[in-house]
Structure 1
Amino acid sequence: MLFFVQICSIVHINMSKRAAQVVKRLGNKVRKIRKERGLTAKEVAKRASLSPRFYAQLEAGKANIAIGRLALVADALTVPLVNLVAEDPQPAAIALLGLRGGGKSTLGPLIAAKLDLEFIELDAQIEEIAGLSLTEVFNLHGEEYYRRLEARCLHELLDSREPRVIALSGGVVHNNDAFERIQRDCFTMWLKANPEDHMQRVMDQGDHRPMADHGNAMTQLRSLLSDREPLYRQAQLTINTSELAVDSALSFSLNGLKDAGWRGRGENAAS
């Protein structure tokens, strides 16, 4: 009898956990569609005849909403109800965005190991295809050639549908072909850091080129970050590596992936 009670308790806990994941995923989807529609939470709540407080709980993944009320939300968002309740296909990869020195090469392999996935630095793939170092690619052929190779390598990786963790170049957000594919087929994470940390981490890797023009280096870095930040902010998850230690950043990343419904492989799946 005790064994039966224990089994029932385990089943109840697993079902509750699954329900919580579904509600969280629903909230993420509602929020994403609302933002795509250019609507405020207050506007959607009013259209759906919901209180602003309850609607906020829905987007936060904390509302146990009845199907009838969810249908009103779907109408307010002008999408079929099935679009809110159906599970989306898992993205082809986890894409790490951000400037060099943000922590992609540190955090990326750790995330990949936890999820039993391959970690790839896209720049390494580009060097392999070009048969040249990145410096040689830029010096001999220019940035336009590099961006074509970048898009080609990315498409090949994502076309395989093999789940991976991919560290991308800082400027990939300005490669329209590549960035559109990333947004469509990847779970995106921005590894954010303050300019001083970006600079110091690059130097700690043994690259002192940023200091060659020391007088303008930090100004240029701040300008570059300011230019790209609006695009980085489109990522589905932001991890501030200046504020979080590596272990904390890893936990935050895995929790964000779990909330988004990401499934890894084997025992280390984010579930």
Structure 2
Amino acid sequence: MTSQESTLMEVSESETKRSPFLEALGERVRTLRSRQGMTRRAVAVAADVSERHLANLEYGTGNVSVLVLLQVSHALQCSLAELLGDVTTSSPEWLLIRELLSTRSEADLRRARVQLGEMFGEGGNAQERKNRIALIGLRGAGKTALGQRLADDMGFPFIELSREIEQFAGCQISEIHNLYGANAYRRYERRALEEAIQIYPEVVIATPGGLVSDSANFNVLLSHCTTVWLQADAADHMGRVAAQGDMRPMAASREAMEDLKRILEGRSAFYSKADLTINTSGRSEDQAFDALRTSVRQHLALPA
């Protein structure tokens, strides 16, 4: 019997011991892990816990210690409060704001976020935001190829943010993570994004797929750019990445497609905040570009 089969058997045998709280906690851990694009093994290594222990936590079984929860929260780059699902209980004002917003629609919440950004001086100029086009989505969505074509069509500069991050760091993105960690990577990402916004009033930006995982950086992007989600199903993402000869971030996973589906599921709610969505599945590059070009020009009230 393999270690994975043993883990699954232990999980199955202890299903009757689940409590609603532990089940909800496990679901939050899985969601946060997917959002970060990390395999279970990667989180276990980063948290210095066994993969079996993490599996039990994700399936809502066992009696996890507070110390292990703290280690897992550090590995997932979130607070312990967020892991426990109670981030808005830190002050009376948080509680009052949560109560005020709890029954609002997504459209109302979006308007509130934009107005708060303007109130605190973090919202971008509407006209400048309009002419900065940022493409978001998982790796393999076509952000680089379609972004370059869109920039050429509109006469805008094209920026691939990942390359800018590497220039700031002086090394490849994989080395940033290996040498300095995820927090350092997010700092470089923020610096590259802010510089692109400051320098270019008109630009097309291809963003890293995981940018939406950092709420601060994603807020900057939403506030200063017209965002377009290049959407595709998991099979198309996997096929395109494999065609490029790069299985990142799935290189160490034996269940690559399931991992990719989990990442896509975990990030889709964030990608859907984009101003525009273009589904590239089942389309050639030319067809996807035509759809992107038409949608962007209509949104910006430009002639076809």
Q: TM-score, normalised by structure 2?
A: 0.56
Is the Cα contact below 8 Å between 1:108 and 1:119 reproduced in 2? yes
Paired letter, 1:37: D
Instruction: Mark the CA change 1:174 to 1:210 in structure 2 (over 3 Å): closer, same or farther.
Output: closer
Give the CA RMSD over aligned residues: 2.3
Q: 1:196 aligns with which of 232, 235, 241?
A: 235
| In structure 2, distance between residues paired with 1:228 and 1:35 | 16
Q: Find the residue that maps to 1:149 and give its secondary structure.
A: helix
Question: Does 140-149 or 155-164 show the bigger shift?
Answer: 155-164
| In structure 2, distance between residues paired with 1:120 and 1:260 | 21
In the alignment, structure 2 segments of 5+ residues that lack a partner are 1-104, 111-124
Does 1:177 pair with 2:219? Answer: no
| In structure 2, distance between residues paired with 1:151 and 1:121 | 14
1:146-202 Cα shifts (integer Å, max 9, x gaps)? 011101110111122431111101111121221111111111011111111111111
Q: How many residues align?
A: 185
| In structure 2, distance between residues paired with 1:99 and 1:209 | 11
| In structure 2, distance between residues paired with 1:245 and 1:262 | 26
C-alpha displacement at 1:88, in angstroms?
Answer: 4.5
Instruction: Mark the CA change 1:208 to 1:177 in structure 2 (over 3 Å): closer, same or farther.
Output: closer
Q: Percent identity?
A: 38
1:191-222 Cα shifts (integer Å, max 9, x gaps)? 11111111111111112456644531111111
Q: Find the residue that maps to 2:127 and give its secondary structure.
A: coil
Q: 1:37 aligns with which of 87, 97, 108?
A: 108
Is the Cα contact below 8 Å between 2:135 and 2:205 reproduced in 1? yes
Q: What is aligned with 2:6? A: none
| In structure 1, distance between residues paired with 2:196 and 2:248 | 31
Q: 1:137 aligns with which of 154, 167, 176?
A: 176
C-alpha displacement at 1:35, in angstroms?
Answer: 5.9
1:107-127 Cα shifts (integer Å, max 9, x gaps)? 111101100111111010010
Instruction: Mark the CA change 1:262 to 1:134 in structure 2 (over 3 Å): closer, same or farther.
Output: farther
Where do residues 32-111 of structure 1 align in structure 2 (5 Å cutoff)?
A: 36-37=107-108, 88-91=126-129, 92-111=131-150
Paired letter, 1:36: A
Instruction: Mark the CA change 1:245 to 1:89 in structure 2 (over 3 Å): closer, same or farther.
Output: same
Q: What is aligned with 1:76? A: none
Paired letter, 1:228: R
Question: Does 186-195 or 250-259 show the bigger shift?
Answer: 250-259
Q: Find the residue that maps to 2:223 and give its secondary structure.
A: helix
Q: What is aligned with 1:246? A: 285
1:81-135 Cα shifts (integer Å, max 9, x gaps)? xxxxxx9514251000000001111111110110011111101001011101111
| In structure 2, distance between residues paired with 1:193 and 1:247 | 15
Q: 2:225 aligns with which of 186, 199, 212?
A: 186
Instruction: Mark the CA change 1:88 to 1:127 in structure 2 (over 3 Å): closer, same or farther.
Output: closer
| In structure 1, distance between residues paired with 2:181 and 2:281 | 32
Is the Cα contact below 8 Å between 1:95 and 1:166 reproduced in 2? yes
Is the Cα contact below 8 Å between 1:190 and 1:239 reproduced in 2? yes
| In structure 2, distance between residues paired with 1:90 and 1:211 | 37
In the alignment, structure 1 segments of 5+ residues that lack a partner are 1-33, 40-86, 264-269
Is the Cα contact below 8 Å between 1:210 and 1:217 reproduced in 2? no
Q: TM-score, normalised by structure 1?
A: 0.63
| In structure 1, distance between residues paired with 2:293 and 2:212 | 23
C-alpha displacement at 1:37, in angstroms?
Answer: 2.6
Paired letter, 1:187: T
Does 1:149 pair with 2:220? Answer: no
